[in-house]
């Protein structure tokens, strides 16, 4: 039985938009997020925020935010569950010359 109740889904956004990736875990679970297999440290990565609900919020999405995101829910006595999604950040091809 998965600890993750609502899994994140593949998402497409434009550069500069705010993204919310959902990961609702069972009560009492701890949620962590990985981006391309690296742990997201919200203290070091200013544009990233993990909300109490487990949602990963990325403010002002950049091309560098492209890739695979993995939500890891863990609960003592229950082990861990993971769920992956892909985020595609599309550039705003509207660059005005000059």
Q: Stretch 45-74: mean pLDDT, rounded?
A: 96
Q: Is the predicted pLDDT of residue 94 greater than 80, yes or no?
A: no
Q: Is the predicted pLDDT of residue 1 greater than 80, yes or no?
A: no
Res. 96 pLDDT band, cuts 50 70 90: low
In angstroms, what CA-CA distances link 56 with 8, 35, 60, 74, 96?
9, 11, 13, 16, 32
- Single pTM value for the model: 0.89
Q: Would you state the pLDDT for residue 27?
A: 93
Q: Would you state the pLDDT for residue 98?
A: 64
Q: Which two tokens stand for residue 62?
A: 């950049």
Q: What percentage of the chain reaches a pLDDT higher than 90?
A: 89
- Supply φ then ψ for residue 24, to 5 degrees: -95, 120
**SS3 state of residue 64:** helix
């Amino acid at each position: 039985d998965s600890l993750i109740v609502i899994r994140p889904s593949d998402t497409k956004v434009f550069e500069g938009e705010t993204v919310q990736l959902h990961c609702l875990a069972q009560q009492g679970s701890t949620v962590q997020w990985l981006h391309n297999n690296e742990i997201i440290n919200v203290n070091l990565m200013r544009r990233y925020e993990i909300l109490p609900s487990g949602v990963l919020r990325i403010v002002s999405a950049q091309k560098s935010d492209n890739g695979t995101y993995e939500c890891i829910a863990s609960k003592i006595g229950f082990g861990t569950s993971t769920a992956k999604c892909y985020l595609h950040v599309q550039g705003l091809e509207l660059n005005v010359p000059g």
